[in-house]
A and B are shown apart, each in its own frame.
Chain A
Amino acid sequence: MNYPFQKTKMVPVPSHSIIPERDLGKTPILECQHLGVDFGGLHAVNDLNLAIGRTEIAGLIGPNGAGKTTVFNLLTKVYQPTRGTILLDSVDTAGKTTMQINRMGIARTFQNIRLFSNMSVEDNVKVGLHNQERYSAAAGILRLPKYWKKEKAIHERAMELLSIFDMQDMANWKAGSLPYGAQRRLEIVRALATNPSLLLLDEPAAGMNPSETAELMKNIVKIRDLFQIAILLIEHDMNLVMNICEGICVLNFGEVIAKGTAEEIQGNPAVIEAYLGKKKEG
Chain B
Amino acid sequence: MLSFLNHLINGISLGSIYAIIALGYTMVYGIAKMLNFAHGDIIMVGAYVCFFAVSSFQLHPVVGLLLAIIVCTVLGTLIEKLAYKPLRQATSLAVLITAIGVSYFLQNAAQLLWTSNPKLFPDIFNGAAIKLFDGELIITVSTLVTIAACIVIMILLTAFIDKSKTGKAMRACSEDKGAAQLMGINVNRTISITFAIGSALAAVAGVLLCTTYPSLVPTTGSMPGIKAFTAAVFGGIGSVPGALLGGILLGIIEIMAGAYISTSLSNAIVFAVLILVLLIKPTGLLGKQIREKV
Residues on A lying within 8 angstroms of B by beta carbon are 76, 78, 97-99, 102-103, 107-108, 110, 114-119, 123, 126-128, 130-131, 140, 190-191, 193-194
Query: Roughly how many angstroms separate A102 CA and B180 CA in the complex, as a whole number?
Result: 10
A116 touches B171 (CB 8 A): yes
**B134 at the A interface (CB under 8 A):** no
**B136 at the A interface (CB under 8 A):** no
B43 → chain A closest CB, angstroms = 25
A119 touches B171 (CB 8 A): yes
Query: Roughly how many angstroms separate A116 CA and B180 CA in the complex, as a whole number?
Result: 9
B225 → chain A closest CB, angstroms = 28
B81 → chain A closest CB, angstroms = 17
Residue of B whose beta carbon sits closest to that of A97 = B181
The residue that A78 contacts in the complex, of B164, B165, B178, B180, with Cβ under 8 A, is B178
Query: Roughly how many angstroms separate A161 CA and B185 CA in the complex, as a whole number?
Result: 19
The residue that B186 contacts in the complex, of A99, A115, A123, A126, with Cβ under 8 A, is A99
Query: Roughly how many angstroms separate A153 CA and B9 CA in the complex, as a whole number?
Result: 46
Q: Is the interface of B mostly helix, strand, loop or mixed?
A: helix
B168 touches A102 (CB 8 A): no
Query: A residues within 8 A CB of B169?
Result: 127, 130
B184 touches A116 (CB 8 A): no
**B252 at the A interface (CB under 8 A):** no
Query: A residues within 8 A CB of B276?
Result: none
In the complex, per-residue mask of B184-201: 1 if CB is within 8 Å of any chain A CB, else 0: 111100000000000000
Asked if A99 meets B165 with Cβ closer than 8 Å, knowing A116-B172, A119-B172, the reply is no
B179 touches A110 (CB 8 A): yes
B182 touches A107 (CB 8 A): yes
A123 touches B168 (CB 8 A): yes
A135 → chain B closest CB, angstroms = 8
B176 touches A128 (CB 8 A): no
A103 → chain B closest CB, angstroms = 5
Query: Roughly how many angstroms separate A103 CA and B181 CA in the complex, as a whole number?
Result: 10
Query: Roughly how many angstroms separate A78 CA and B181 CA in the complex, as a whole number?
Result: 9
- What are 30 residue pairs bridging A and B, where the CB atoms are less than 8 Å apart in the complex? A78-B182, A99-B181, A99-B185, A99-B187, A102-B181, A102-B182, A102-B184, A107-B182, A107-B183, A114-B176, A114-B178, A114-B179, A116-B175, A118-B171, A119-B168, A119-B172, A123-B168, A123-B171, A126-B165, A127-B172, A128-B183, A128-B184, A130-B165, A130-B169, A130-B185, A140-B164, A140-B166, A193-B183, A194-B183, A194-B184
